[in-house]
Amino acid sequence: MANNSKEYRINTRVVKVAHKDGNKASIPPIYQSTTFKADSIGSFSTQDYDYTRSGNPTRTVLQDHLASVINCKYVYAVNSGMACLDVILSNLKPNDEVVAGEDLYGGSYRLLHFAERKHNIKIKHFDTTNLPLMKKAITRKTNLVLLESPTNPLINVVDVKAIAAHAHAVNPDCVVVFDNTMMTPLLMSPLELGCDIHYESATKYLNGHHDIMAGVLATNRDDLAKSLFYVINATGSGLAPFDSWLLIRGLKTLSIRLEREQQNCMKLATFLQDKGFTVRYTGLKSHPQHDLHFSQCKGPGAVLSFETGNVAFSEAVIKNCEIFSTTVSFGSVSSLISLPLKMSHASIDKKVLAERNFPQDLIRLCVGIEDIQDLIDDLDHAISLAKREVGAKL
């Protein structure tokens, strides 16, 4: 895969989309075509494009662009973040063992256990923040390790370098996979920390406008690239041309969006902490893994969660917000608020959530680019109304 602008810094690479167009269009054209003509029957098998499931020029521009942003050898764009994990799991064999976090995004948890039931894969969950425990859990029998950091929505931080190094030391064939949805390539480089596959839901920050579903898989390993592409082509999960084009467009503003979202998020975290709530955000010095986070990331991201101590109160805060809309997802220019237990993480069995002490009152904020004073006023107003409605002494 071409990596044309490696010499530039990431904030430039994210804007500079390399492409060749016969008409010198400044923006890459959308090849809204499922098929491509063969010069002759003989040339069919050697031409770059024959059928969009196998490859499409707009998707190629996106993938090359992302390879430049991520600074890696191979990128594949697929039709959702979950499709990334599905493609990865499709390469496992019956009885293969997966070690994953117990604090994973709800949809990832659901897909892992679907694969366990359907393909007879063994899934083991551990507290990934506990390094000695992880070192015991990952053995020579472990075929795949799945990590997320900071986790969604508990904002727990994982020592990625140490876990990847251990996994490869005990089993050189173990594939270490990292879900980088919360950080993006701008804030974290999982491949440089020793992971074999970096994937993320491009539905979130990479696109940034909540108008497409997409996923991105990145690797430097030739063997893994081959097996990932095999599944994408065989199953048809490659990203459609128009969505690829929209993602190219969205990506160009990633760096300024993220900068503003992080500034806003930091101010909201401080505001909520000053109000007396228990805030989970790596940008706060009070986060127990603040230093570990900043040893592997360039910023805190723009998702925080906080506990109020009272489920009814949390629900009332959410209901009374006006700018923060009650919506799942994150990474968009607009701010969102949600109750993970009943929304983004509702796909995890209630019993499992209870066993893991998942806070029922946990509110998640996904911070956008609006005026910070309006965001603070919106939350402040919602908190005041909630106090009146629920009568909580907070």
Ligand X SMILES: N[C@@H](CCSC[C@H](N)C(=O)O)C(=O)O
Ligand Y SMILES: Cc1ncc(COP(=O)(O)O)c(C=O)c1O
Residues near ligand X (CB under 6 A) are 105, 107, 152, 328-330, 344, 347
Between CA 325 and CA 369 the distance in angstroms is 14
Which partner from the list ligand X, ligand Y, none does 213 bind, CB cut-off 5 to 8 Å by kind?
ligand Y
Q: Name every residue whose Cβ is closer than 8 Å to that of residue 246 and which is 6 or more positions away in sequence.
A: 207, 211, 212
Q: Which residues pair with 278 in a beta bridge?
A: 307
Taking CB positions, which residue lies at the least distance from ligand Y? 81
Between CA 288 and CA 262 the distance in angstroms is 19
Distance of closest approach, residue 129 Cβ to ligand X, in angstroms: 19
β-pair type (74-78, 215-219): antiparallel
204, 257, 280, 364: which one is catalytic? Answer: 204
Quickly tell me which residue has 């859990």 as its tokens: 137
Which partner from the list ligand X, ligand Y, none does 347 bind, CB cut-off 5 to 8 Å by kind?
ligand X
Between CA 101 and CA 150 the distance in angstroms is 11
Distance of closest approach, residue 42 Cβ to ligand X, in angstroms: 46
Return the number of the residue (181 or 255) whose C-beta is nearest ligand Y. Answer: 181
Return the number of the residue (4 or 327) whose C-beta is nearest ligand X. Answer: 327
Which partner from the list ligand X, ligand Y, none does 248 bind, CB cut-off 5 to 8 Å by kind?
none
Return the number of the residue (164 or 247) whose C-beta is nearest ligand X. Answer: 247
Return the number of the residue (197 or 386) whose C-beta is nearest ligand Y. Answer: 197
Q: Is 105 a catalytic residue?
A: yes
Q: Is 179 a catalytic residue?
A: yes
Distance of closest approach, residue 201 Cβ to ligand X, in angstroms: 7
Return the number of the residue (189 or 344) whose C-beta is nearest ligand X. Answer: 344
Q: Is 53 a catalytic residue?
A: yes
Residues that bind ligand Y (CB under 6 A): 80-82, 105, 107-108, 148, 152, 179, 181-182, 201, 203, 213, 215
179, 196, 243, 361: which one is catalytic? Answer: 179
Distances in whole angstroms, Cα of residue 314 to Cα of each of 20, 203, 223, 249, 303: 52, 27, 48, 36, 17
**Amino acid (1-letter code) at residue 360:** Q
Distances in whole angstroms, Cα of residue 351 to Cα of each of 55, 128, 151: 43, 20, 20
Which partner from the list ligand X, ligand Y, none does 179 bind, CB cut-off 5 to 8 Å by kind?
ligand Y
Distance of closest approach, residue 79 Cβ to ligand X, in angstroms: 14
Consecutive H or E run containing 278? strand 278-280
Distance of closest approach, residue 213 Cβ to ligand X, in angstroms: 10
Strand ranges, E, within 12-171: 74-78, 97-101, 122-126, 142-148
Coil, helix or strand at residue 176: strand
Which partner from the list ligand X, ligand Y, none does 60 bind, CB cut-off 5 to 8 Å by kind?
none
Q: Name every residue whose Cβ is closer than 8 Å to that of residue 24 and which is 6 or more positions away in sequence.
A: none
53, 110, 221, 387: which one is catalytic? Answer: 53
Q: Is 371 a catalytic residue?
A: no
User: Which residues participate in catalysis according to the annotation?
Assistant: 53, 105, 179, 204
